[in-house]
Amino acid sequence: MVENDKIINLLKTLVEIESPSKKEDQIKEFVKNYLKNLGYEVFESENYIATKTTSDLIVATHLDTLPLDYKFFYDGIYAYGTGVCDAKASITAMLVAAENKLNYTLAFFCDEEEDGLGSKEFVKTWENGKFAIVMEPTNLEIASKHWGSFELIIKVEGKEAHGAFPEKGINAIEKTFELYKKLKKLNLKLNPLRINGGSEKYIIPDICEIKFEIFLKPKEKISDYLEKIKFVENFGKYEIDHVYEGYISGEVVKYLEEAIKLAKLPISYTEMKSWTDALNLKERFDVVVWGPGNLEFCHTKEEKVKIEEIKKAIEVLASLNFLFSSKNKPR
């Protein structure tokens, strides 16, 4: 069993390397050198690094985090700080597991928190592999069902008037509230992400822009929603962006289940509702999401991860190595 101090020190080092999206050079260099010092041959591209193997299995996570707002600290059970869980706990588990020669590919992507450039490039350029495990916070539960989503951006149109005469204008902010109520009545899983309207000028606002994320259940299609939301054109110009349809994992789940059994850990399941690199990888690989930590706290000042969960993740990664070394097939 790996000692806590080793995990804590490595995790602290990783968290203290600032790695916001599109500025991952320093952490990329650290991870690359760490793996090279362990004897791995490492392929480096603009937006990812990966250990060179011909294995059917890829275990991947991302290098970037949100901008570093909260410093690392450890209270004896949990480690805290920006990126500590999403996803530097997973990087830590992968690097510690790599100290025992791994036969499968380890991949580390840039830009997951913004445009997913790392996983997009990986899908286009990596030649080997059938199965992928994307390490993200799932409380070590198997996220075999992955939701999709799309963004709906509406520029709601009103009519300007002097601020003292609201009845002479059409308030775009009020119209935006009306639009929101209508969308809520459709019983969509709906997330307002941004709203921008009005100014310091004493006038009735004629424009209010709002951005929603609308979630798609696994196997739902964007086409299932287009007719439902067509009415938004009555409120102003709109666009649909960042469309990703979900999926349900296949045979890769059996491998992960067997590895968890070998590590003598309980098997449980969940669904991934956030965007992850798995939504890019599914175009070429049978992919599942799994890893230490609770996604609910990520991106907030409460972001944290149990060191014990990282230790368990390391054990599962070692079990995966046994499965893919011995050619054992999960029952």
* Percent share of the chain, pLDDT over 90: 96
pTM of the model as a whole = 0.93
Average pLDDT of the chain is 96
Per-residue model confidence (pLDDT) at position 313: 99
State the Cα–Cα distance between residues 313 and 205, nearest whole angstrom: 53
Contact predicate 23/97, CB 8 Å: no
What does the pLDDT look like over 149-160, one tens digit per residue?
999 999 999 999
| Residue 329 pLDDT greater than 70, yes or no | no
| Residue 57 pLDDT greater than 90, yes or no | yes
What does the pLDDT look like over 185-201, one tens digit per residue?
999 999 999 999 999 99
Contact predicate 211/192, CB 8 Å: yes
Buried-exposed string 15-30: b where 16+ CB fall within 10 A, e elsewhere: bebebbbeebeebbeb
Rounded to 5 degrees, what angle do the CA atoms 239, 213, 59 make?
Answer: 115
What does the pLDDT look like over 118-137, one tens digit per residue?
999 999 999 999 999 999 99
Characterise 74 by phi-psi region: left (phi > 0), alpha (psi -120 to 50), beta (else): beta
Nearest residue to 247 via CA among 132, 137, 324: 132
| Residue 322 pLDDT greater than 90, yes or no | yes
Domains, the chain, with CATH or none: 4-147+246-326 (3.40.630.10), 151-244 (3.30.70.360)
Nearest residue to 11 via CA among 91, 69, 76, 106: 91
Per-residue model confidence (pLDDT) at position 1: 62
Per-residue model confidence (pLDDT) at position 209: 99
Query: Per mean pLDDT, which range of 3-7, 18-22, 287-291 is the poorest?
Result: 3-7
Per-residue model confidence (pLDDT) at position 326: 57
Nearest residue to 117 via CA among 213, 46, 68: 46
Per-residue model confidence (pLDDT) at position 327: 59
What does the pLDDT look like over 222-235, one tens digit per residue?
999 999 999 999 99
Per-residue model confidence (pLDDT) at position 2: 75
Tell whether omega for the bond before 87 is within 30 degrees of 0, i.e. cis.
yes
State the Cα–Cα distance between residues 72 and 14, nearest whole angstrom: 10
